[in-house]
């Protein structure tokens, strides 16, 4: 049976595999700005990079990012609200909406929020899947009064 | 290296995208394109910083030049460096005949009307206060009638709109370096009076005058400068005791009075009333006011565009009258409240050439009456020309001559492309033509360019497919009826050559030999003939026209009546595409005879002709 030969320019399928997908390697700077012994700053890569981005997103308030006023989860807007005004469902909806809109690398799996009016605290745990690797990760965000 | 910077290149998004493109060239960090990433946050900071720096630099650079500055404070400051002081609000000024009648005897030989006599007048149902700014004296004419006169003997007394305000300053120590601020944006600086009293309570004072009016300055000259500052207020500055005249000393009192005015809105007042009465021997006699010139000349602060235009010209004129532009600059700077435009030219450029003269054409604002026009001309001669011009040069005023253009416009209209009727599109086209004249013409040195107007018409509506226009010039000539006379009617450009199809010269109707006739040129000839409405030639040699000089000459012309009040003579220009008016000619449109007509065009190329 005759074999089909392609030119090198066309991939020469006879002796070269066809690239059907490409894995995107995420890499970001570490926002702690800690430095290595060499003096370079540390990198965040793969899941850690996405996790950092999600945390970033959750801790950003509306109008903080230049020319993108609706970026962020706006959690700080809860700061001066009455505890009775804060609603779990609304909070979760806001977080899901923010991640779906601004972080395409993550799919939210679960959000747990724990509102403690007595200690003036809100704890949020967002569990998400990193789409590229199917790896699961979670981010804890705790909002509490300083004094 | 880029020679131009587009303002859009300073946009935040543009800068950030550029930074992202730079990141694409490396493999170390890949997350620059995700808005939540740390890299994106850093790029935000970089881009925002560049954005603000770029904008600030752009604004600062714009404000650095008089042509591009947007802030009034910047434009005024640039003008100041050119030695140009922008005009403040200007009071509207009217002229009145003022008199009193004293019937009892004995009568005084003269009476004095002290400054500050108040008059009231209304414009558009709004009342305005006018007042005199100096004392006037009237003498008994023998019958008990006293008519007040100016220092030069004129009986037209100027009154100015506004409210008098007084500011008193106490002069501090020299080391205090005091600046005297007058916080009033509507001050008319031309009405300011500055008196410096020796002591706080004394009555002896020295009147300081504006340094702009000074002919010679010594260390003892009593001069002040007044200038507009960034917040729109005014500052009063005195000499330094050396090169710019003397300065008030500690313990002196400065009293400044001026009019705070409403500007333009008080123009046009015709009737003035007053409650002023003069007391003579204990009896009050009312003052009678008769208007001789309606109020005019009121203006708001000089606009930014005006400052931009006038400051460089004033700088080049250096407050002297040598070149034609000097005359234009000085006249506009001093009498701009009365004038729409000014043009000046030397006698050597005049037709006919007359050396030793400068001609100035003035276009007055529409509300300026003839008495005020003559007064302004006299002031220009007396105050400007005689003080600042070169000896033996005479200033002659030339009337602004308006040449009207009769435009016949046709445009192809596809009715399928518009919901408007052809009539409404015709009206739109005609109103566009009219506003084109209002915006681009009606001033000296403004050239009519047909293609520019046709471009504007074509852009009006997608349904207008193309347009064309014939242009004729029209001059109006006053005629002495039943008097045989020669008339020379000059057009601002060369005229078309005669041919065997078109009449270059035509006219409105008039009566001659008891027949309604008009003028036209004979075909293929410069000779003019008078024909009746049946086309029968009544006079076969009524004059001629000079194609190159643009002059139409009527010889022995003696009609018994003229349609309307003036004879309208139309002429086709040699170049209908460009009408360039010379010297004191101004182009306007004859709205009554200019027509726009739609030609329906369905863009169907399959029909027969």
Q: What are phi and psi of B587, to 5 degrees?
A: -100, 135
Q: Are B348 and B355 in contact (CB under 8 A)?
A: yes
Out of A25, A28, A67, closest to residue B37 by CB: A28
Nearest to A29 among B12, B13, B39 (CB): B39
Regarding predicted confidence, which is higher, A19 or B542?
A: B542
Contacts of B228 (CB under 8 A, 6+ apart): B76, B85, B86, B88, B234, B301
pLDDT at A3: 58
CA distances B498 to B270, B520, B530, B571, B573, Å, are: 52, 11, 16, 11, 11
Residue B8 contacts A where some CB pair is shorter than 8 Å: no
B14 reaches A (C-beta below 8 A) = no
Helix axes B324-335, B304-317, angle to 10 degrees: 140
Task: Using a cut of 0.95, tell me whether the model's pTM lies above it.
Answer: no
| Phi and psi torsions of B303, nearest 5° | -75, 165
In sequence order, what are the beta bridge partners of B225?
B237
Of the partner residues A29, A57, A67, the one whose CB lies closest to the CB of residue B13? A67
Residues of A in contact with B38 (CB under 8 A): 28-31, 44, 52-53, 56
Which percentage of chain A shows pLDDT scores above 90? 44
Q: Which of B28, B36, B51 sits opposite A27 (nearest CB)?
A: B28
- Minimum distance, in Å, between the CA of residue A74 and any CA atom of chain B: 13
B187: tokens are: 């001050």
Cβ distance A57 to B12 less than 8 Å, yes or no, reads no
> Rounded to the nearest 10 degrees, what angle do helices B72-81 and B304-317 cross at?
10
pLDDT tens digits along A59-73 = 999 999 999 999 999
Mutation target vs A (from B19, B36, B50, B53; most A CBs, 10 A cutoff): B36
Do residues B469 and B477 touch, judged by C-beta distance below 8 A?
no
Give SS3 for B18.
helix
Residue B24 burial (10 A CB sphere; 0-12, 13-18, 19+)? exposed
CB contact under 8 A, B38 and A28: yes
Provide the token pair at B399: 């009337």
> Would you call A29 helix, strand, or coil by DSSP?
strand
Tell whether B39 is within 8 A of chain A (Cβ): yes
- Are residues B38 and A52, on separate chains, in Cβ contact within 8 Å? yes
Asked if residues B171 and B251 have their Cβ atoms less than 8 Å apart, the reply is yes
Find where tokens 């090169």 sit. Answer: B243
Tell me which chain A residues have a C-beta less than 8 angstroms from the C-beta of B36: 53-54, 56-57, 60, 71, 102-103
Instruction: Yes or no: say if B383 and B334 are a contact pair by the CB < 8 Å rule.
Output: yes
End-to-end CA distance of chain B: 58
pLDDT averaged over every residue in chain A: 84
Q: Would you give the DSSP letter of residue B482?
A: T
Contact A26 B47 (CB under 8 A): no
Average pLDDT of adjacent 10-residue blocks, chain B of 609 residues: 64 92 88 90 94 90 92 93 91 93 86 93 94 92 89 84 93 82 93 93 92 80 90 88 86 93 93 90 89 91 91 81 83 82 86 85 83 87 79 82 90 86 89 88 88 89 89 90 89 89 90 90 91 87 90 90 89 90 87 87 67
Helical (H) or strand (E) element with B74: helix B72-81
Q: How far is A53 from chain B (nearest CA, A)?
A: 5
Distance CA B329, CA B334 (A): 9
Say what the ipTM of the complex is.
0.81
pLDDT of residue A16: 53
**pLDDT score at B234:** 92
């Amino acid at each position: 049976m005759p074999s089909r030969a392609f030119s090198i320019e066309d991939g020469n399928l006879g002796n070269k595999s066809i690239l059907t997908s490409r894995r995107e390697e995420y890499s970001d700077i570490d926002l702690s700005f800690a430095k290595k012994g060499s003096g370079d700053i540390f990198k965040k890569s793969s899941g850690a990079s996405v996790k950092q981005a999600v945390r970033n997103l959750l801790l950003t308030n509306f109008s903080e990012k230049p020319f993108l006023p609706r970026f962020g989860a706006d959690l700080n807007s809860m700061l001066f609200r009455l505890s009775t005004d804060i609603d779990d469902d609304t909070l979760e909806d806001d977080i899901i909406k923010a991640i779906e809109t601004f972080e395409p690398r993550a799919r939210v799996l679960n959000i747990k929020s724990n509102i403690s009016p007595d200690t003036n605290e809100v704890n949020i745990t967002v569990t998400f899947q990193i789409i590229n690797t199917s790896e699961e990760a979670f981010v804890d965000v705790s909002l509490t009064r300083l004094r | 290296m880029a020679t131009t910077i587009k303002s859009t290149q300073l946009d935040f998004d543009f800068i950030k995208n550029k930074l992202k493109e730079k990141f694409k060239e490396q493999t170390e960090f890949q997350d620059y394109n995700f808005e939540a990433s740390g890299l994106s946050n850093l790029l935000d900071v970089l881009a925002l910083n560049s954005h603000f720096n770029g904008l600030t630099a752009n604004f600062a650079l714009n404000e650095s030049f008089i042509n591009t500055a947007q802030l009034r404070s910047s434009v005024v400051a640039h003008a100041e460096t050119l030695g140009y002081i922008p005009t403040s609000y200007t009071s509207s000024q009217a002229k009145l005949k003022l008199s009193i009648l004293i019937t009892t005897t004995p009568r005084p030989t003269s009476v004095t009307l002290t400054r500050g006599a108040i008059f009231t007048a209304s414009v558009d149902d709004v009342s305005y206060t006018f007042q005199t700014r100096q004392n006037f004296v009237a003498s008994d004419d023998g019958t008990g009638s006293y008519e007040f006169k100016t220092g030069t003997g004129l009986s037209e007394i100027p009154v100015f709109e506004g409210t008098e305000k007084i500011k008193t300053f106490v002069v501090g120590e020299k080391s205090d370096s005091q600046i005297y601020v007058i916080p009033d944006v509507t001050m008319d600086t031309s009405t300011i009076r500055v008196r410096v009293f020796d002591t706080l309570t004394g009555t002896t004072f020295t009147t300081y005058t504006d340094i702009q009016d000074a002919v010679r300055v010594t260390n003892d000259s009593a001069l002040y400068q007044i200038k507009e500052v960034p917040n729109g207020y005014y500052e009063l500055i005195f000499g330094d005791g050396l090169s710019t005249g003397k300065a008030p000393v500690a313990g002196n009192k400065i009293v400044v009075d001026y009019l705070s005015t409403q500007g333009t809105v008080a123009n046009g007042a015709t009737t003035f009333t007053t409650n002023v009465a003069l007391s003579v021997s204990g009896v009050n006699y009312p003052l009678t006011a008769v208007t001789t010139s309606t109020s005019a000349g009121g203006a708001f602060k000089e606009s930014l565009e005006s400052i931009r235009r006038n400051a460089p010209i004033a700088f080049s004129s250096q407050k002297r009258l040598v070149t034609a532009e000097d005359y234009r600059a000085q006249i506009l700077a001093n009498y701009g409240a009365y004038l729409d435009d000014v043009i000046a030219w030397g006698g050597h450029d005049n037709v006919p050439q007359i050396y030793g003269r400068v001609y100035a054409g003035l276009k007055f604002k529409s509300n300026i009456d003839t008495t005020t026009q003559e007064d302004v001309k006299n002031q220009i001669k007396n105050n400007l020309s005689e003080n600042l011009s070169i000896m033996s040069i005479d200033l002659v005023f030339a009337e602004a001559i308006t040449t009207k253009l009769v435009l016949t416009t046709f445009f192809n209209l596809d009715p399928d492309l518009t919901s408007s009727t052809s009539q409404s599109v015709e009206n739109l086209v005609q109103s566009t033509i009219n506003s084109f004249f209002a915006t681009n013409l009606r001033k000296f040195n403004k050239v009519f360019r047909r293609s520019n107007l046709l471009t504007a018409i074509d852009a009006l509506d997608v349904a207008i497919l193309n347009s064309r226009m014939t242009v004729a010039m029209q001059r109006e000539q006053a005629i002495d009826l039943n008097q045989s006379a020669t008339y020379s009617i000059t057009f601002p450009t060369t005229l078309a050559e005669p041919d065997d199809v078109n009449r270059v010269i035509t006219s409105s109707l008039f009566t001659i030999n008891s027949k309604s006739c008009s003028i036209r040129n004979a075909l293929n000839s410069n000779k003019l003939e008078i024909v009746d409405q049946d086309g029968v030639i009544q006079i076969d040699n009524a004059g001629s026209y000079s194609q190159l000089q643009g002059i139409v000459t009527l010889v022995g012309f003696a009609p018994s009546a003229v349609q309307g009040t003036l004879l309208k003579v139309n002429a086709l220009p040699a170049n209908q595409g460009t009408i360039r008016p010379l010297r004191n000619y101004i182009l306007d449109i004859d709205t009554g005879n200019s027509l726009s007509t739609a030609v329906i065009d369905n863009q169907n190329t399959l029909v027969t002709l």
